[in-house]
Amino acid sequence: MASQFPLETRYWYLRDHQLFRHLNSAELRQICLITNFKTAKKSEIIYFAHDEQNRVYLLKKGIIKIVELDEDGTETVKDVLQKGDLFGQLTLDDTEMEEYAIALSDYVTCCSFLIEDFEEVIRQHPSLAIKFTKLIGMRFRRLENRYSNLMFKDVRTRLLLFLEDWAEKEGTVENNAIMLKNYLTHQDMAGLVCSTRQTVSQLFNEFKQHGLIDYNRSSIIIPDLKRLKSLVN
């Protein structure tokens, strides 16, 4: 795996991340030595928690989904991550996790550290410590937000908020409408907003009938994001 990447490439990959951007080249090369690189193509598994409970991951390129395994074998999409996001043992402890990550975009690259190594890096670069803490903090707030949505909003609203969020993050403008390249099934979205496949399917049709969105398996089009937002109660 690692040998696919010449040192120079690894170096630039690291440097590209906001965590490491401020370090000088000697420091970066040092960190390079303890970094593991990995790639995957669409639909391939790039990370399986059960085998590597002791690594932190950084997504360098592409989009992945994190799928959680229930005790009884049920799989639920827990999160969709993008360039720059952290995953794996991001709390730097020994939490048991049953989850894996699958590439959603054509090419995915990520790097990882043993948590002991990563702690050492933090110890030696306090500024990095603060950046890391703030990244975890952002994740914390995002989860808080999802929790509060689940508590106070109905499924329709949660789904609308999800679309809104997605549109703002990845939407491209195409003749006056917002276009989303869709790499998620209704089942996936159901997991993300805490609902069921059938309900998501029904709501999508309802939204389509009302002209809120247009969609097929490969894309979602939002003609008027403002109108969509206004329906969020």
Contact residues: DNA, CB under 7 A: 154-156, 185-187, 194-199, 201-202, 204-205, 216-218
Q: How far is it, in rounded angstroms, from Cα 100 to Cα 91?
A: 16
Q: For a second copy, give the closer residue by CB, 21 or 181.
A: 21
Lay out the sheet containing 177-181: strands in order across. 172-174, 177-181, 219-222, 214-215
Nearest distance, CB of residue 15 and a second copy, angstroms: 22
Q: What is the largest CA-CA distance in the chain?
A: 58
**Token pair in block for residue 106:** 């054509």
Q: For DNA, give the closer residue by CB, 59 or 184.
A: 184
Q: For a second copy, give the closer residue by CB, 137 or 211.
A: 137
Q: Taking a C-beta distance cutoff of 8 angstroms, is the pair 133, 141 a contact?
A: no
3-state secondary structure of 1: coil
| Dihedral class, residue 40 (left if φ above 0, else alpha if ψ from -120 to 50, else beta) | beta
Q: From a second copy, DNA, none, which one binds at residue 137 (CB under 5 to 8 Å depending on kind)?
A: a second copy
Which DSSP symbol is given to 223? S
Q: Taking a C-beta distance cutoff of 8 angstroms, is the pair 174, 143 a contact?
A: no
Q: From a second copy, DNA, none, which one binds at residue 60 (CB under 5 to 8 Å depending on kind)?
A: none
Contacting positions for a second copy (CB under 8 A): 68, 70, 76, 90-93, 95, 119, 122-127, 129-130, 132-134, 136-141, 143-144, 146-148, 150-152, 194
Q: For DNA, give the closer residue by CB, 36 or 202.
A: 202
Q: From DNA, a second copy, none, which one binds at residue 146 (CB under 5 to 8 Å depending on kind)?
A: a second copy
